[in-house]
Structure 1
Amino acid sequence: MALKLPPLRKRRAAGDISLAIVNIVFLLIFFFMLIGQEVVTQGNVRLPRTDQLTGAQIPSNVLVVQSADEWLLGGTPISPELLGSVLGPAGETVYLMLDRDAPAELLLQTLARPELAGYDIRLVSLREGGAG
């Protein structure tokens, strides 16, 4: 009488997880290195200043943004909605000037205006000490 035993199940070889553990440890090291770096505070930020461009050298098509609704083009007040009809064809350069103490949100809102789409925007500033 022969005994019939069930066939042996072959075990799958377990993969080596040491590489995965090493990768996780390296990711954690990089994470904590980045988190532990010193954050730049607003007091350390220095805004750019122009020291070679005088007021007489600034082009006439400078768009001065004083607030969201107060714009000057070449010294003449202009409504932001009418800007597209006054500027030349798309692709030309528009020089944009904001007060250095203006909030960054004003710059972002200005650049997002559809009237300025298609123009090459350049930020300009006056020399420290005034326009001359």
Structure 2
Amino acid sequence: MKPRRRKAKGEPTIALINVVFLMLIFFLIAGTLAPPLDPELTLVNTADLDSAAPPEGLVINADGTLQADGQPIASAQDYYATHSAETVRVVPDQALPAKTLLQIGAALHEAGAETVLIATERSIQ
């Protein structure tokens, strides 16, 4: 008797092709969900815009000194006493140590501020 040859199993390429096809369909549909911008629309360019602190913001310089409305402020409690609001916007200098920022945020919370927002620079590059 001759030994039987085992039939080699085929590779499951059909399943792989189905998966790739489904992914292609998914990305085609997902890419068309958001309508494109009008081609005549020109977006605002803010590359050369000088940023300034919002008028109601507490500016914290790199050395930890505080300013509000262009005037120096002695402490975070003094700022909150004159600008009492539930939400306080803080504009820290980039070189300000995080420890100092956290201390000022805690002082604002102790003075009565419910929320302290930190303004940061947003860059799209």
Q: Normalised by the size of structure 1, how large is the TM-score?
A: 0.44
Higher relative contact order (CA 8 A, sep 6+): 1
Q: Normalised by the size of structure 2, how large is the TM-score?
A: 0.46
Q: Whose radius of gyration is greater, 1 or 2?
A: 1
